[in-house]
């Protein structure tokens, strides 16, 4: 009998994953990853509740249950990285870093060391022979967040929900009478529950007001810290005049935010994307070949190709609000080729 360590977060997706694996004949060990436990002003971290829910599921399924404490490493690899990226004026994706450094490195390595043959999570994606494929539920597909996972890790990773839709998973949870069947989705930053990014950053970074400059070089208002603004953002700009304004850039040294009132402004649209920290799961993409490209989670797929080097991709059509620090993920049909971080 093969042993699989499944990440139990206390949510419905990981609960159903564990139940399906047990049905399939695996020796299942449920693991709660304690990544974050700090309360923030006005918000209590839900980790204890999530831990208890995960434990309830393990008891209900009759499987062994463990807790892996990764809080120190999580702070260093995910939280500190995120804060430094924001300080540098970029907009990082902490979920991608969490998958790279915690779930599919720390969790994976610890599980294998303890005798696991496989690891499993509740992600909506598919892993076949070391290849990462999109999940069947196109609305819920999470392959975007997994593009930095290594081929050798994917070979020993199971995504039990890859062939199901979210409504199907909810229905299965109810039919199995799982304790988490009606639990709501956790929203907000992956490790802070209901706290928004602005409220979170304010705990770590001192900010001050600065100028908002429009496309004509005219000062039209003030912001409460350039760190809080991202390219393409429309809401949260305290400027009068009735016209909607969009963030086109920011200067962290002068604490200035640049905006435009023109949706067709050239500074809002880009065709050429320069990437850093590229990661290819199986093999590097071919120069000149057309791939499908996602410039941020849930963004529509667009066509693009690498013309001269695999750190520069040219899109067939310009895309709005390309944001430094975000990830570009490359697809070949259903397979995730890999991707990189926008410079």
144-182 pLDDT per residue, tens:
999 999 999 999 999 999 999 999 999 999 999 999 999
Q: What is the pLDDT of residues 209-255, one digit of tens each?
A: 999 999 999 999 999 999 999 999 988 777 766 788 999 999 999 99
The stretch 173-197 carries a mean pLDDT of 80
**170 shares a domain with 243:** no
The residue range of the domain holding 300 is: 269-342
Is the separation of the CB atoms in 4 and 26 below 8 Å? yes
Number of domains in the chain: 3
Compute and round to an integer the Cα radius of gyration of the chain: 21
- pLDDT recorded at residue 40: 82
**230 shares a domain with 141:** no
Query: Does residue 34 sit within a domain?
Result: yes
Is the separation of the CB atoms in 40 and 192 below 8 Å? yes
Residue 238 burial class via C-beta count within 10 angstroms: exposed 0-12, middle 13-18, buried 19 and up: exposed
Q: Does the structure show a pLDDT above 70 at 67? A: yes
The stretch 80-103 carries a mean pLDDT of 96
Cα–Cα distance measured from residue 14 to residue 11, given in angstroms and rounded to the nearest whole number: 6
**Final residue before a domain boundary, out of 153, 175, 197:** 175
Identified catalytic residue from 21, 63, 98, 281: 98
Cα–Cα distance measured from residue 78 to residue 35, given in angstroms and rounded to the nearest whole number: 10
Residue 60 is classified by DSSP as H
Q: Does the structure show a pLDDT above 90 at 199? A: no
Cα–Cα distance measured from residue 328 to residue 213, given in angstroms and rounded to the nearest whole number: 28
3-class SS of residue 6: strand
Q: What is the pLDDT of residues 243-302, one digit of tens each?
A: 889 999 999 999 999 999 999 999 999 999 999 999 999 999 999 999 999 999 999 999
Cα–Cα distance measured from residue 143 to residue 167, given in angstroms and rounded to the nearest whole number: 18
Helices 166-175 & 12-23, crossing angle to 10 degrees?
A: 70
Q: Does the structure show a pLDDT above 80 at 190? A: no
Cα–Cα distance measured from residue 210 to residue 195, given in angstroms and rounded to the nearest whole number: 24
The rounded mean pLDDT for the chain is 94
**219 shares a domain with 275:** no
**338 shares a domain with 279:** yes
Cα–Cα distance measured from residue 108 to residue 132, given in angstroms and rounded to the nearest whole number: 16
Identified catalytic residue from 54, 178, 190, 259: 190
**285 shares a domain with 246:** no
**107 shares a domain with 216:** no
- pLDDT recorded at residue 242: 74
**227 shares a domain with 81:** no
- pLDDT recorded at residue 329: 98
Sign of CA dihedral 257, 261, 263, 267: negative
* C-alpha triplet 120, 121, 125: angle, nearest 5°: 100
Identify each DSSP E strand in 226-311 by its residue range: 246-251, 256-260, 269-280, 290-294, 302-306
- pLDDT recorded at residue 143: 98
Q: Does the structure show a pLDDT above 80 at 191? A: no
**36 shares a domain with 121:** yes
Partners of 313 in the beta sheet?
A: 273, 306
Token couple for 308? 């001269």
3-class SS of residue 323: coil
Active site residue 45: no
Among candidate residues 253, 267, 258, 254, the one with its CA nearest the CA of residue 239: 258
**153 shares a domain with 35:** yes
- pLDDT recorded at residue 241: 66
- pLDDT recorded at residue 332: 98
Q: How confident is the model at residue 194 (pLDDT cuts 50, 70, 90)?
A: low
């Amino acid at each position: 009998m093969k042993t699989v360590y499944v990440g139990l977060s206390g949510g419905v997706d990981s609960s159903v994953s564990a139940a399906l694996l047990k049905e399939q004949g695996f020796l299942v060990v449920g693991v709660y990853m304690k990544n974050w436990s700090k309360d923030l002003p006005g918000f209590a971290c839900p980790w204890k509740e999530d831990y208890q829910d995960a434990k309830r599921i393990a008891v209900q399924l009759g499987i062994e249950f463990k807790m892996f404490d990764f809080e120190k490493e999580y702070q260093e690899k995910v939280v500190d990285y995120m804060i430094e990226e924001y300080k540098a004026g970029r907009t990082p994706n902490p979920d991608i870093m969490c998958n790279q450094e915690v779930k599919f490195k720390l969790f994976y390595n610890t599980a294998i060391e303890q005798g696991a043959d496989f690891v499993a999570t509740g992600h909506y994606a598919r892993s076949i022979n070391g290849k990462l494929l999109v999940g069947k539920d196109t609305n819920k597909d999470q392959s975007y967040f997994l593009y930095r996972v290594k081929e050798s890790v994917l070979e020993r990773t199971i995504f039990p929900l890859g062939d199901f839709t979210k409504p199907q998973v909810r229905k299965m949870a109810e039919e199995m009478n799982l304790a988490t069947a009606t639990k709501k989705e956790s929203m907000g930053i992956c490790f802070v529950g209901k706290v928004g990014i602005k409220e979170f950053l304010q705990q770590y970074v001192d900010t001050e007001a600065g100028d908002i400059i429009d496309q004509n070089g005219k000062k039209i208002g003030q912001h409460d810290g350039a760190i809080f603004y991202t390219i393409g953002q429309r809401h949260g700009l305290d400027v009068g005049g009735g016209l909607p304004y969009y963030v086109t850039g920011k200067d962290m040294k002068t604490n200035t935010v640049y905006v435009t009132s023109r949706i067709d402004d050239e500074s809002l649209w880009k065709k050429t994307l320069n990437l850093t920290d590229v990661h290819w799961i199986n093999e590097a993409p071919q120069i000149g070949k057309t791939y499908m490209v996602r410039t941020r989670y849930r963004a529509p797929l667009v066509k693009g190709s690498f013309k001269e080097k695999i750190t520069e991709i040219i899109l067939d059509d310009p895309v709005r609000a390309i944001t430094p620090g975000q990830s570009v993920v490359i697809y070949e049909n259903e397979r995730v080729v890999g991707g990189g971080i926008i410079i």
